[in-house]
A and B are shown apart, each in its own frame.
Chain A
Amino acid sequence: MLAATLSMAGVFLTAGLSKIADPRAFALIVHRYQAVPDILVNPIALFLPWLELISGASLILVPRWRKAAGVLILGMLLVFTGLIVSVIIRGIDLNCGCFSVDPGTDAIGWKNVCRNLLFILLTTIALRGAARWRANQ
């Protein structure tokens, strides 16, 4: 459970930091997913990376928030996975934007879905640990 918690914290800290550094590039990726109205693209690009960062940090730094952070991370992973599947089905060519806003990274594919399913499993394991900690308080 500790390994799962540390892994997911690292994943989301990395994911958040890369996008906070270049919100315009991330906004372009959000737009290219063609999943939200134009008016929501920039607010999402500004808010989501910080949610990833704080959720990831909370998993290891704020024991009281650990379970809530885990739930939020699980929710984000489910949404992201659904979006990736949608992009694949709609035949849209774009890079994931999951850990890098560099347009030169590999295009989205089923490997991204498999990776996210692994993350969902790890988050579920991390959540069980957080629930146990909470129950002992």
Chain B
Amino acid sequence: MAPTQAGQRTSELALDAFFILILAALLGVTANLVRPTPLPWAENWSHRVESQASALGIRVASAEQAKQLMDEAALYIFDARSAEHFAEGHLPMALSLPSASFDESFAQYAQLMIPEQEALVYCSGLACDESLLVCKSMLKMGFTNLVLFAGGIEKWEEEGYALEASY
């Protein structure tokens, strides 16, 4: 293929790709506009977990507040991450309660807890919503005295607090 012909084909290819991209953008915008509840173009995802927890009546704790609660009160501490991540390092005295297997995992703890029992739930950090999912599941089962530590493992380590490991 002659160079000018190759260049022409490349230009046509780029133009075709551009048209596809523009069409996708137009349809995306239009579809969102006609939706009954459009998705906002900008959203504060970093604090989404905290704002949803507050809306559900779940208390939200900072790392310092979580540490204070753990030192002063008798509460259950649940780690909503996978069992593998829990084993690598978790908050002191925490129990593994993966959100992906909540029903099977929580059964053993539910037998030991009363509905008014205070429980703190966390996962890896602000971008993780597994702790919120666990809180929602616990709320459905009648456990309402919940504290969400949204900052999770990331904030805990940032504050210089120690983790425990299971192996």
- Write the residues of chain A forming the contact surface with B, with a CB cutoff of 8 angstroms: 20, 23-24, 27-28, 31-32, 34, 38-39, 41-43, 45-47, 49-51, 53-55, 58, 64-65, 67-69, 71-72, 91-93, 103, 107, 134
Contact = CB atoms under 8 A, between A and B. Distances in A.
A25 B48 CA distance: 13
Contact of B24 (A50, A64, A68, A91): A50
A93 B43 contact: no
Interface of B: 9, 13-14, 16-17, 19-21, 23-25, 27-29, 31-32, 35, 39-46, 48, 81-82, 84-85, 100, 124, 127-130, 133
Contacts of A20: 31
Contact of A41 (B13, B25, B43): B43
Given A54-B20, A68-B20, A72-B17, A31 B45 contact: yes
A95 to B, nearest CB: 9
B39 A39 contact: no
A112 to B, nearest CB: 16
16 contacts: A27-B43, A28-B129, A31-B45, A32-B128, A32-B129, A38-B44, A42-B43, A43-B41, A46-B32, A47-B24, A50-B24, A50-B25, A51-B20, A53-B24, A58-B20, A65-B20
B153 to A, nearest CB: 11
A28 B44 CA distance: 12
